[in-house]
Structure 1
Amino acid sequence: MNKFEDAQEEDFETVAEVVQSMVEASPKLLQARSQCVSKHKIDFSLRGVPVVSQFVARDAEMQALEELLIDPALATSRRNVVVVHGLGGIGKTQLVVEFARKHQRQFSGIFWLDGSSEASLNQSFVDMAQRLPRGELTADGVQMLSQATVEADVAVRECQQWLSMSSNSHWLLIIDNVDRDHRDQDDSQAYNVKEYFPHADHGSILITSRLATLQRFGSGVKVGTVAVEQALAILENNAGSVVKDADVVLELLHGLPLALTQAGSYMRETNASAATYAKHYDSTWGRLMKKEERFPLEEYSDRSVLTTWTISYEQVQRQSEEAACLLKLWGFLDSGEVWYELIAASKDLAGETGVPTWLLEIAEDELAFSEAIGLLSRCSLVDGQEGTDSHSMHSVLHRWCGYLAEDGERHELGCLAAGLVALSVPSESDVEFWRKRKRIMAHGLRVSGWTVGAGGLSEERAVGTSIQPGSFYNLGYLLGDEDRQRAVQMYQRALDGYEKAWGPEHTSTLDTVNNLDTLYVDLGRLDEAETMLQRVLDGYAKVVSPDNLMTYVPALNNMGAFASLRESQGCVDDARWWYSQALLGYEKTFGRDHDKCESLRTKLALLARNEGEQSSFADARLIEDYPSRENIADSIASLTKLTWYQHRLVTNCKSLAEADT
């Protein structure tokens, strides 16, 4: 190594110039070294490759492919098989097209084969054979290629022989859309893709498929939905302009590239705004999808949202009618979590209403459920939720599943879904109440929405008679804190059913009215609440014996609700009296230290403090030393402003006090 004392020396300047030229040339040298040099080199051709004019980068998936197929650290002399799998319309083909175009110089040859059917694959091999050097084929192969009609099996054999040559190991064979399961004996175009692999233990094979099971041939790369930024780019690229208020569309389509591409094309062709598109999507989904089909998408082989999942559904249907029916039922549930216990509720539902045999077979045990859900998962129609025992599906596919049901099936499936969800609503005594409530909530919102918007007054009435009142009651109970307006609608339907079945004074009817009045108070509908409360108090006084009235929790809850209503109306004496009655009952039922008792004492203390000495009750000490049951009649008698229904309850209380003495 030479050392220079001065940077101005002539030799130093000469060496510096050489080093600088080497630095400048290094990128080209690295690129040249990365390119495959082979005597079997065949230029990449776009013939037969789907057109992807505006690919939106998917860095994570691209990096995964590069690590498996390009990275020298992972390079192997053995055959390398990579399966890109995922939901139909998720962008598998587009990703692989971009990979092939980006890295075409790093393989001696890239061959694109259409694997959508065995006939298509054979024709692709015929086209591939035409591109191979004649001097590297067998004599029979050369003769065959000179004929007007090329036999597919000969073309396949020649291609496999050429790919298996020991000196030819740097090729990439891409087989696109291998979506047919060869185990499906009723599908004449299904095939075992492994039979088309070259026999040599070298080269690379890249497969795109909805069949996650093909990962058994090698490594797997799962393609999921795109992020918001990518989704916006896909939408606007296809719309041809910036989309104002695009968020409403992005939220509906949840990062599904096919749906985004189709929506953007529709908006470009019709000049529809994002708001208009969203309105049509929510109200007339099926008609909107049919209109979108007028603008075919070449990069998706002219498939649309309505047609792209048909092949997967038909495949499921041929293998398991039960799994296909489960998919349609799922369209009436929420797209999120579905788990065994939710479906198993059908065994209890069978005691209330008719349940189809296919559902009972799936619900028989966890093994039967796993078999059905496993088939849907293998076809990439559903995904397992990591760390849980549940599965979910994409929201657009979910809309399609609801669209699958025929008119005659929709009523039955909707009522089944409502019944399953209602039976899965936990009670407050359940130790896992909050977890189970959170898990079932989305399904509750979904099925309750269907019951009130089932289509036309006659259909809504039919739903009301097909779903048990208890199911409506449970749905109302579930939604009470989440969507009060919807909860009111559920309770009203439950009330209609109970009144017809049991009469207006049955405890089930009164319990429903009781819950309704609480919701009316929360919603500020005080006049309706008061009417309901009066009805409940009168009803309980009639149907519950005096011995049980002050320990009947629904009645006590109603007293507390009525006290709250009277307090909000400024009737403090009435409020204090009803709070006191509820407190007496809770103490007798649960004991003085129960949370409900503490809560009512606090309310009474606040009322006494706010009223001070002007109160008709003496002072706050009444809360700490409330009159015993023996003196209750005298305490009640001192009150004023008692309405008729209050007097009815007073009579019962007096009878109870006399019985105690």
Structure 2
Amino acid sequence: MGKTQLAANFARRNSARYSAVFWLDGSSEDSLKQSIVYAASRLPSGQIPEEMRISTLSENLDLEAIIKHFLDWLSQPDNDSWLAVFDNVDREYSVKSPQQGAYDITRYFPWADHGSILVTTRLAELGNHGTAVKQLQKVNDDLAKAIFCKWYTRKFDEDNGAQLLNLLYGLPLALTQAAAYMQQTGASFDEYIDLWKSHWRSLMRSQEVDGDLYQHQGKLDKAEEMYRRALRGKEKALGAEHLSTLDTVNNLGKLYQNQGKLYKAEVTYQRALQGKEKALGAEHLSTLDTVNNLGNLYRNQGKLDKAEVTYQRALQGKEKALGAEHLSTLDTVNSLGNLYRNQGKLDKAEVTYQRALRGKEKALGAEHLSTLYTVNNLGILYQNQGKLDKAEEMYRRALRGKEKALGAEHLSTLDTVNNLGNLYQNQGKLDKAEVTYQRALQGKEKALGAEHLSTLDTVNNLGVLYRNQGKLDKAEEMYQRALQGYEKALGAEHLSTLDTVNNLGNLYRYQGKLDKAEVTYQRALQGYEKALGAEHLSTLYTVNNLGILYQNQGKLDKAEEKYQRALQGVEKALGAEHLSTLDTVNNLGILYQNQGKSDKAEEMYQRALQGYEKALGAEHLSTLDTVNNLGNLYQDQGKLDKAEEMYKQALQGFEKEFW
């Protein structure tokens, strides 16, 4: 019985186990593509875009688009019981020297780790794509040598032989294969060690690819396992200071950063940086890439001055080595723009983003994805500046470009949809914000699943929106869902978890559950102080929230203490005119007014008002809120003419904004 008949019998005997069975002709790449297109046409309506399903009847086929949608369908989280049979894959594929007509079959495997794939082939190498069902344990040195010598009858080289046995880690199958290969080919120990190291690098790279995939899927623990496995293998085979080892160290640093393990990330980046500086020099591009990554980390840690020094080093090095308009240079320019935005240097951020945008438009075109990412960043900046119309223009340009290049359901597209939701919320267009968030949420749930970190980010945003809409029960439901997801995926002390804890504190405060709010804020504050330090901005924002809570509880002295701590920290980190600084100044004005300290209250309000007008303009909502607060103060002081003037100014602005 041939291999095709065996596969057919297997499929028939086990048909009840599978929701669908797809028979794909793998004898050539063209045959496989046509088989996938036919399989797509057999899917029920609604499973993939209808134009893709129906277009299989047309002569003008977009094969790649149809194949992509079919593989995406196989990869959906709730579609996990299918069988795909790739029949007659008999041409050996190699990147360096492929056979005529050979192709890489793995390009046509779904990216998900569910479902079943059966390949009929005469090639033993394809077995490497399968999954081991039994783990063989390592043996001791004496038994390892005995196993090797059973299959290798030539003279055993004690020095090189010991090195080889160490590399093979006492695994019986590896020992047997090595000995048989050397016996048959006459390869020396040195030659086999070189061959082993070459193949080992490929294997380690494949594990790093798996790590990249798990990280993309939000499976950060699995990603860490893959990166650590690759790192152990490279350290053993190549040494701790080999460049390939250091690249894996750098990737592990990125993962720690995404996990919120910022201290571990810093230690890991520093190891990669020191190794690259020693091996390549301080100005090598690979060194500068790690320098740039360190800048990103320092920015996340709130060490903004260190981040700026680090970015400037990376930028100067890239400009010298590659030129001012090289894409790698422009990526660092874009990172500097992000930093200036975080520092509240909004004018410098705009100049920097515009430089990056011009360079990318010139080099790549207006619709390239890298260009669109900078367009999206400009949208965030304009939103921070209160230039909401310009922000919307940027977001819409980015969204159109991504929808055209990637499709409406691509994750990058959905990220921009999510940003539009944030903008609509800032504009007070709460209904449009809700529709937009729901689109982003449904797309992420479909593509990534309900518990993916990106999905949870949008769930958290919906919680903020519902709170602003006064739908407090729905807001709590969203926050609790996000919190449980973050705790499960990242742990109770991860920054994303703590951000949601802080949001829950805000909600409890709005609900009047002041005792629960205090407990929740204290949890967030302790977590931030432990992870980031007492002067990090996230820590200080929670300190400010505690000040608001104490003010609501009538604990005015404790409120003043929190506001003063927050103000001193934010002024130090961001400057006296940053919007976050001004928000705390405005809060202090409200507190002083409640304490009856009218002169100090007016001083705070005037300072906040001048800062808001300078940064955001006279008609921004934050400006108008402070104008209204001044009206309240003047009314309390009996300065009714001045109070009326303030109220009219605020009312005109609010009417213009909302009506």
Does 1 or 2 have the higher relative contact order (CA < 8 Å, sep 6+)? Answer: 1
User: Whose radius of gyration is greater, 1 or 2?
Assistant: 1
- Same fold by TM (over 0.5)? no
TM-score normalised by length of structure 2: 0.29
